[in-house]
């Protein structure tokens, strides 16, 4: 039997190295993706329908392609709120009803270090929340009440309950 102490000679990481290591810890699992159509334009979205995927969201992402996003799928339609913990990029948030209609559009900004996190509310019951690169909603002309083309594959997902 061996008993002993192991000592590491590695220097303590600086703040940037720590942030990079944390980002590596939160690399997304390979989430399912789907194509949705917004204002006639296709977007490849990661599907967040498990508790862990919805919790992690787009944390620690340094970029998001102009035609990409994340679609949060919930079990029931109800008012939702989102915040930007550990988010490194600004995001447009599209709150979508179970019928596929846009209920609210907003832009979430990178949080200011040391200040409380701001919450972004749907204001009405929604079943889906779509995050896109900031400026996308304006660029493609999204409007309240507009339809989001959600394929049957998405509409029939049975998400993990909260």
Identify the pLDDT of residue 88. 85
Q: What is the pLDDT of residues 63-73, one digit of tens each?
A: 888 999 989 89
- Residue 104 is assigned to a structural domain of this protein: yes
In a domain, 4, yes or no: no
Q: Report yes or no on 2 lying in a domain.
A: no
Q: Looking at the domain assignment, is residue 100 inside a domain? A: yes
CATH code where residue 139 lies: 2.60.120.1140
* Residue 1, in any domain of the structure: no
Write the pLDDT tens digit of every residue in 26-46. 344 567 889 999 999 999 998
User: SS3 string of the chain?
Assistant: CCCCCCCCCCCCCCHHHHHHHHHHHCCCCCCCEEEEEECCEEEEEEEECCHHHHHHCCCCCCCCCCCEEEEEEEEEEECCEEECCCCCCCEEEEEECCCCEEEEEEEECCCCCCCCCCEEECCCCEEEEEEEECCHHHHHCCCCCCECECCHHHHCCCCCCC
What's the rounded mean pLDDT across residues 123-131?
A: 96
State the residue range of the domain holding 108.
15-155
Residue 47 lies in a domain: yes
pLDDT of residue 57: 60
**Number of domains into which the chain is organized:** 1
* Residue 72 domain-assigned (yes or no): yes
Residue 162 lies in a domain: no
Q: At residue 21, does pLDDT exceed 80? A: no
Per-residue pLDDT band for 60 (boundaries 50, 70, 90) equals low
């Amino acid at each position: 039997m061996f008993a002993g102490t192991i000592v590491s000679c590695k220097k303590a990481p600086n703040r940037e190295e720590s942030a990079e290591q944390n980002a590596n810890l939160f690399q997304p699992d390979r989430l399912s993706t789907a194509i949705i159509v917004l204002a006639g334009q296709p977007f490849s979205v990661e599907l967040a329908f498990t508790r862990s995927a919805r919790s992690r969201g787009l944390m620690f992402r340094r970029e998001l392609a102009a035609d990409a996003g994340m679609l949060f799928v919930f079990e029931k339609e109800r008012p939702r709120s989102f915040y930007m913990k550990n988010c490194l990029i600004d995001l447009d948030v599209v709150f979508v009803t179970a019928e596929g209609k846009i209920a609210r559009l907003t832009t979430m900004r990178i949080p200011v270090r040391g200040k409380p996190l701001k919450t972004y509310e749907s204001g009405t019951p929604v079943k889906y929340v779509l995050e896109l690169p900031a400026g996308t909603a304006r660029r493609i002309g999204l409007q309240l009440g507009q339809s989001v083309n959600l394929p049957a594959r998405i509409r029939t997902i049975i998400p993990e309950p909260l």
